[in-house]
Structure 1
């Protein structure tokens, strides 16, 4: 769940619709015939530099096919795999209802990496629906994240015959194009294919000029531009404004970018000063509307000037059919920005700051952060990222948050508490405890201790101490921390409740831990964190299994939100690759329950998978718990060598914990080769109490049999539970049997 609007109306309106074809475009029938979707190729790859008409060709191509369409206009902010796929799948569901419902469910699990099931589920749903779907990815060259390349490659490999993918890019994606050529899955269109023929160029110029070009001008233009559509179109604007078209064309020289720059300058210089200034001052905007242009230029005439620019056809294209959002052609915007810097030094930063603040005020954090970073204004970058990181992180866009943090000025990283919280959380999630310690020390101005540090520093210090395995320190710090007044509020409250409940669980405080775990699960659902939900549910299941409460275990697993998580009871096959450690906790807890039920083979399969995903990011107590469970499961199926290996690994983790707590101490005792004898672990009186617990006698009857008061018996029980690391009578008897403590 996110408080921003980056994935709602603004993003989808401008990103998820094909740009309407301009008034002066022509249909390239020779190309359309070659690329007809009925040709059966899964992928149509159009690769050419800017200005070669890739988007226009794709518009005509998909317009000729009366099929559902997904069109995504990409930008560099889409290099977050989950953000990319969320946008793609949501748009697909709009085109074909429910076709991506299952895939979206897997996607919202909170893992920064996209689970394998997202792609397979989407491909299977497309095959089941049986309806054709066209997927167009415009400006794919801005994508550099390897996971996006890999998941799209997987989709193309798995694609049913009804899926047609059209990729428009300035560079070739890192895909196995030769193999796909052999299997007739791809057709590639390049710049030489997109170059206008003399007939097409004449048709375009006639449409733009309203008349046939003068003798000699067409031939000269073709020789100078090699049929480059952008230069042909811009030259037409120049021809309209000059008395000597042939002289203008003869002045063209150099490469394509130089030709475009020359023509663009000629057009810009010929405009009225107010319109020229407007173009320069809005050139850094990736998307234009009347409102954002007014805010950025601080000129109420911007609405009319935007309309003038549109009427002139100045390389400005609509991004929605309502005509609210527009964008400049990349090359034209590039020329405008260079002119802005030349004519108005320093003005660009001021305009970027205004753009960032306008989007920030509307909760459009992705745009706000991008403009802030482009401005290079350190205070603004800090302000935007400090507010935007929490909802973006909770929304699963961890990659985006890390990119923002990398762009921050050094000073902000050291002294801003909210920025420090973001850095600490990303480091703790990746297992960088030393890095987190350094950040917290910088924020607190010295050593990080159990003293009462302020606000978020206190919360994350408790988090760090727990991850390190200092449970008593973590409990003390968290007990002194009140998250209610912190920002981000809901994330802080949820994290504090989760940490406190888990610390209490490992310290053997059964009842209070389970009550808090239930509240932590409710908060995880409220903030929309699938990782948090899996983490808390796993500890609830561990706790219920420890006290032998099978009904409570079944309730945890039957929860509809929990059941569909990776590692949940109704999830598909578990994929250990790239899975967040929190889902391994849930899987391990299910393994321990299976052991209690006598299902050793099932327990070993679950525990083995869990042990493979928890090493990156899991705190030491959780890691030790998963490894000990796996060792116990391996022992149960006769895998002695594997059990010994896992037990040794768990021992090393526990040795690094300063205070592992009674639960883990007891779990270790069930596997340790030098486990204590009956008399070393429990006193003779405590052994007598345990033997009577394995009966139908009530506490009052047991007290009478031992000739002690009920209160004295309760003291003995508390001592037994603490030493065995359990919280109930049933669990104490079971643990005593496993440790051969019963005669």
Structure 2
């Protein structure tokens, strides 16, 4: 689809684009449907048609154009390109929520983001996907079908492909929402052929033009190549008369004619750079051995000679795909001995400039299998973090089965890939093979391989929830040895950041480890320094989970910070952020904010659709069980607890939540009228688990169901006096409530009030609600004398929740710093008319102490005076909402 000539570029006059009015009108009519499919062979002018149509009159906005990369097997890279193109077309090209690749990709999420972006734009949008035949990912094609069927009314999609793909567009076709332009429509008519020749300044007789049209069958690329050769032919009529053969044969013949007409330096550049998918001046200079390549490339593009710039600054170029294919054939014919060396030169330059995938491919093409294996192994961690797991798999398949590749590199790359895919047994097997080969490797590589294997061992431990067997793998976290190259240090940093993350995760899930938060902070800091946002988000999300022993305000803040950072990169519903999502939901459940917690649990479930490990799924089931239990839905809670225990059985060691999970499952069984089942399970527990505080509470709950309040009191005594180890103070709150219920059954209301007041006092700082709901303590709270409690506001809130309400705390108040118990005691006197000396007298402390506490209260509540502090405290439910008495 070309018109006119241009003498500015190298070589003969080159045709320019012509306006094919009939075809453009057909595309205009097709745009009235929801989807237009342009399916025609290579060189039919599909891309030129789309450019001419997009630049035509009446286009109110620029289209969102996606050029599918050659042999695109990675669905994640495709969908990120689609979302980026749509956002740029809508004028939203900033960094906020910029899509970025991840090791764990949720296709449904990003497709929903594309659909949301299209739906939210008020104007008309045209989504153009060119070279769709290059997309070989079945998952991406399936999701594309779903997107096309759900397109909003103001959106039109145009798909350009060399062949039909399994898109299953029959529903759109039957609904009249699919327009199709195929090979017959794309062919030049005889009239268009004559116009093309005339506009290109090529004089042919009417019979000669008709013969050329007949020989090319209206094939745009054939006409374009013929025009290039005709421009320099001394006998044009004879040239056309001898012109014959299939389109492929014609193209190869005309390509030779075109090369022969080019200056030697242009021929050299075209041939030697044809093995690249994209080229710039510096890389072309390297492959040709001569400077000035950028000027030649610019000239070829200006001459419309099958060279296309890829960026606004015109620094990177690619060749028309048909043109590139034919140039490669010619390269192999003319310079077969130089092809491996050219691949090596390209691989070296690309590797130095961070283009690792292309560097590996060119190293493989050169036949340097050992070097390709080493390069892939060295960068497999980084590529996985960049969301290139599918690409790694493709590169691994490219190694010939018959090739004997010794050493740890290929096993290490395979272990990394299998681990990313969740195939833990296969990953462990490859890792063992890699370990046995380390001793034979050069000393200068041995440290790096040891670091990589140790990092993979930690990853396996994290997936399986086992710490004890891998503690010896953490020695590499010390400072790397002196003498490493800059490249080794950079590669080490990736591995060390991953290792710190996995170590922190395993420690957070293991009993008795106090280093989890430190390692996760170190991992996040390192990831930030080396520009690995995915790792930073992963560490911060896990830090939110590791902070489960911190005050709830701290945990909330960390969860929201991690979620906000993930959303900036478009990972708001990816598996990487699921620990923060689940933990935030858990905190909200503990504080009785059930409706808000349910929303976060739904988001967690969506994020885990593509997760390959049991850990956070276990948390999701456990938290969902907590939510059901808090709402009094005990059958549903029991089902969730059992699902969590099924996942727990997949882990190789104990985890931090096992005690609570077993305790709640036993108590729920008893509360559902199955104390015998609960007793049987209790008897089967090992001594270590049976002696913990959480199981003491479960035993007390069973006793209460069995009408044995004395037994319940005996069971919780070890929790209340601190002799039974407990995970956190929540267990002690629960023990006090169980004791209060037992005292009430024993006819001792005074003791019941004291135990309930103890539970309220412990719960005040974090505004704890859940234990009151799960133990069935509504009656205790309703019987609580209001004048005898120092926690009237919390008491009222808990009663509201137990009667069916769901609390909520405004986001603006979540970040307020936690008040100490002493500050809370002073706070409760601020709504009264007592002076500071009178408050000091009532509390038996000095006036200076009261003054210090009040200053701290004002600072933490962001208040200026006593009245604003009281108002703020009531908003936070730290004080009763009623008037002071």
Normalising TM by the smaller chain, what interval? 0.7 to 0.9
Residue equivalent to 1:7: none
Equivalent residues in 2 for 1:175-194, closer than 5 Å: 175-194=167-186
1:362 aligns with 2:353: yes
Could you tell which deviates more after superposition, 242-251 or 457-466?
Answer: 242-251
Aligned counterpart for 1:147 among listed residues 129, 139, 155: 139
- In 2, distance between residues paired with 1:191 and 1:666? 67
1:75 aligns with 2:69: yes
Equivalent residues in 2 for 1:632-647, closer than 5 Å: 632-637=626-631, 643-647=637-641
- Contact 1:538–1:588 (8 Å) recurs in 2: no
Cα 1:666–1:291 change in 2 (3 A) is: same
| Residues 534-560 of structure 1: per-residue CA shift (max 9 Å, x gap) | 655555444544x4722223222332x
- In 2, distance between residues paired with 1:60 and 1:97? 22
- In 1, distance between residues paired with 2:682 and 2:256? 84
- In 1, distance between residues paired with 2:244 and 2:158? 34
- How many angstroms does 1:602 deviate by? 6.4
- Contact 1:109–1:565 (8 Å) recurs in 2: no
Equivalent residues in 2 for 1:330-345, closer than 5 Å: 330-345=321-336
Residue equivalent to 2:464: 468
| Residues 480-538 of structure 1: per-residue CA shift (max 9 Å, x gap) | 64375665233323222222323332333365333444444555666666765665555
Equivalent residues in 2 for 1:7-22, closer than 5 Å: none
Residue equivalent to 1:32: 24
- How many angstroms does 1:301 deviate by? 6.5
- How many angstroms does 1:90 deviate by? 3.3
- In 1, distance between residues paired with 2:74 and 2:267? 36
- In 2, distance between residues paired with 1:420 and 1:473? 21
Cα 1:255–1:516 change in 2 (3 A) is: same
- How many angstroms does 1:99 deviate by? 7.2
SS of the counterpart of 1:98?
Answer: coil
- In 2, distance between residues paired with 1:367 and 1:679? 55
Residue equivalent to 1:501: 504
- In 1, distance between residues paired with 2:357 and 2:420? 22
- Contact 1:483–1:492 (8 Å) recurs in 2: no
- In 1, distance between residues paired with 2:267 and 2:73? 34
- In 1, distance between residues paired with 2:226 and 2:598? 71
Residue equivalent to 2:207: 216
- In 2, distance between residues paired with 1:58 and 1:264? 25
Residue equivalent to 2:879: none
- In 1, distance between residues paired with 2:373 and 2:428? 21
Gaps of 5+ in 1: 1-20, 691-712
Aligned counterpart for 1:555 among listed residues 550, 554, 557: 557
- In 2, distance between residues paired with 1:310 and 1:357? 27
- Contact 1:70–1:91 (8 Å) recurs in 2: yes
- How many angstroms does 1:295 deviate by? 1.0
Residue equivalent to 1:589: 583
Residue equivalent to 1:385: 376
Equivalent residues in 2 for 1:646-657, closer than 5 Å: 646-657=640-651
- Contact 2:624–2:637 (8 Å) recurs in 1: yes
- How many angstroms does 1:49 deviate by? 0.4
1:490 aligns with 2:493: yes
- Contact 2:127–2:156 (8 Å) recurs in 1: yes
1:204 aligns with 2:196: yes
Cα 1:661–1:177 change in 2 (3 A) is: closer
- Contact 1:539–1:589 (8 Å) recurs in 2: no
Residue equivalent to 2:431: 440
1:283 aligns with 2:287: no
- In 1, distance between residues paired with 2:480 and 2:734? 40
- How many angstroms does 1:39 deviate by? 4.8
Task: Say what the alpha-carbon RMSD is for the aligned residues.
Answer: 4.4
1:477 aligns with 2:473: yes
Residue equivalent to 2:91: 97
Cα 1:344–1:98 change in 2 (3 A) is: closer
- Contact 1:458–1:477 (8 Å) recurs in 2: yes
- How many angstroms does 1:368 deviate by? 3.1
- Contact 2:693–2:724 (8 Å) recurs in 1: yes
Aligned counterpart for 2:389 among listed residues 387, 393, 398: 398
Q: Which structure ranks higher in relative contact order (CA pairs < 8 Å, sequence separation ≥ 6)?
A: 1
1:256 aligns with 2:259: no
- Contact 1:205–1:212 (8 Å) recurs in 2: yes
Cα 1:626–1:63 change in 2 (3 A) is: closer
SS of the counterpart of 1:172?
Answer: coil
SS of the counterpart of 1:675?
Answer: helix
- Contact 2:306–2:320 (8 Å) recurs in 1: yes
Residue equivalent to 1:454: 450
Cα 1:587–1:635 change in 2 (3 A) is: same
- In 2, distance between residues paired with 1:592 and 1:27? 63
Residue equivalent to 2:160: 168
- In 1, distance between residues paired with 2:124 and 2:456? 50
Residue equivalent to 2:753: none
Cα 1:334–1:656 change in 2 (3 A) is: closer
- In 1, distance between residues paired with 2:313 and 2:656? 64
SS of the counterpart of 1:136?
Answer: strand
| Residues 268-304 of structure 1: per-residue CA shift (max 9 Å, x gap) | 4455555444433232232344332221122346567
- How many angstroms does 1:170 deviate by? 0.4
Cα 1:346–1:644 change in 2 (3 A) is: farther
Residue equivalent to 1:57: 49
Q: Of the two, which has the highest radius of gyration?
A: 2
| Residues 657-714 of structure 1: per-residue CA shift (max 9 Å, x gap) | 4431464245324324322699977999999x99xxxxxxxxxxxxxxxxxxxxxx99
- Contact 1:471–1:660 (8 Å) recurs in 2: no
- Contact 1:508–1:663 (8 Å) recurs in 2: no
- In 1, distance between residues paired with 2:602 and 2:91? 38
- Contact 1:414–1:443 (8 Å) recurs in 2: no
How many residue pairs are counted as aligned between the two chains?
A: 677
Cα 1:376–1:720 change in 2 (3 A) is: farther
- In 2, distance between residues paired with 1:498 and 1:471? 13
- In 1, distance between residues paired with 2:221 and 2:610? 50
Cα 1:477–1:372 change in 2 (3 A) is: closer
Residue equivalent to 1:16: none
SS of the counterpart of 1:45?
Answer: strand
- How many angstroms does 1:50 deviate by? 0.9
- Contact 2:408–2:435 (8 Å) recurs in 1: no
Cα 1:476–1:240 change in 2 (3 A) is: closer
- How many angstroms does 1:29 deviate by? 0.8
Residue equivalent to 2:228: 237
